[in-house]
Amino acid sequence: MLTLQAEIRPYWSDINKWTDMQEFMINDTPVKMWARTCDAHAWKEVTNICSLPFIYHHVALMPDLHGGKGMPIGTVLATNGVVIPNAVGVDIGCGMCAVKTNIRFEMVTPEVLRKKIMRGIRKQIPLGKEHHKQAQDEKYMPQGFDIDKLEIVKRRYVSATKQVGTLGGGNHFIELQKDDDGFMWIMIHSGSRNLGKQVGDYYNEKADMLNRRWFSTVKSEIMLPFIPLRDPLFKEYWNEMEYCIAFGLCNRRLMMQRIEEVIADAIPDAEFEPMINIAHNYAAWENHFGENCIVHRKGATHARLGEIGIIPGSQGTNSYIVEGLGNPDSFMSCSHGAGRAMSRTEAVHTLDLEKEKERLDSLGIVHAIRCQKDLEEAASAYKNIEEVIAEEQDLVKVKVHLSPIAVIKG
């Protein structure tokens, strides 16, 4: 087992040559890493994580690893008796869903695609910071929760009823794709919208205040304040986190329902298979290596044996429907996507707008890259999805290969 010190820069060139899962130590904490490349920001955060006193067993780093806030995206962190809001992130319950149709793409004319389907989706689904002007029916909201006991959810509930069924911005997307047999698929990436951010920020701040009061050994500047199981705040956060996870699913489900309605209106004989759904920002009680622990997945998804999941590429690249292999070393997890190769700021300042547009146009992909800011989500800003999939062959096996047809960004 390779041992790394807290200062990892001297090992940078070696790390970028890795091809298989590597095991090493940082601050006496075992780390198992599937990523072949990683930015300096993420490595600093990994080092910080490995200083935490309540880590269970080891830290797992997925192939899409890149810098985040407190904990890198693409990290799986198991803990003993504590939850860390920033190890979940602020888009709680963000995830993917996908539906296969009986429509052969070759039968869809460009006019139907652009004028009926794409235009219809944009009309039905608010994008970016937009939301519905009217509250949506409460049947579309999570059921079985006592809202009166959820402080932030109760405060933001009315706003949430206008945000359910909306895409959001950033890296969220709606994409039409085709599989190798020519059948059209619908894929959505979205989360809990502003509700998850409000919950995440509130409890992260509360946890930080508690940690300061306790003179915690976990330094505030690493942005990983924790909430112990014994503290009443644990249950409060956990319940609101679970609501946000459910809300993220409801949000994706409502969007999918309305997209299916648009497609069915444009192509009357359209049929849709059951929706595949998987989240990638959450914490859960699980049993690993014979003990119960709290597993935080931030930009990582569950990949239990036989579990069907989704690993999307970046704009204009392939995506994959996968089946989990239940690898215990990753806490039965896999990557949630390609992972960023450069920051949004770097992408805007370094990528060539015309080249990115030309690449998508040459592939016949309907896209919305129009200005320099759109380069934040260009494919060149992300890792190569084919390499990411190759790096996790012991975590998942590919079931369906999907090529992009048209994409709508938030």
In a domain, 231, yes or no: yes
pLDDT over threshold 90, residue 328: yes
Please report, for the chain, how many H helices and E strands are present, in that order. 11, 18
Q: Which two tokens stand for residue 86?
A: 């920033």
Residues 177/403, Cβ–Cβ less than 8 Å: yes
Helices (H), 109-266: 110-111, 119-124, 151-163, 193-213, 232-266
What pLDDT is attached to residue 13? 43
Asked if residue 348 is part of any domain, the answer here is no
25-78 pLDDT, tens digit per residue, is 999 999 999 999 889 999 999 999 999 999 999 999 999 999 999 999 999 999
Task: Decide: residue 305, CB within 10 A, 0-12 exposed, 13-18 middle, 19+ buried.
Answer: exposed
Q: One of 336, 349, 367, 401 is an active-site residue; which one?
A: 336
What token pair was written down for 388?
A: 């990411």
Residue 372 in domain = no
pTM value? 0.93
Structural domain including 212 reads: 2-341+382-409
pLDDT recorded at residue 19: 54
**Is 360 within the bounds of a domain?**
no
CATH number of residue 307's parent domain: 3.90.1860.10
Q: How many domains does the chain have?
A: 1
374 within a domain of the structure (yes/no): no
What value does the mean pLDDT take over residues 348-365?
91
Average pLDDT over residues 332-356: 93
Asked whether residue 158 is domain-assigned, the answer is yes
Residue 187 scores a pLDDT above 60: yes
In a domain, 357, yes or no: no
Looking at residue 403, its pLDDT comes to: 97
Tallying the residues shown for the chain, one arrives at 410
Phi and psi at residue 55, in whole multiples of 5°?
-65, 140
For residue 358, is it within any domain?
Answer: no
- Report the pLDDT value the prediction gives residue 266, as an integer from 0 to 100: 97
Q: Tell me how far apart the alpha carbons of residues 166 and 92 are, in angstroms, rounded to a whole number.
A: 15
pLDDT on residue 6: 36
Active site residue 172: no
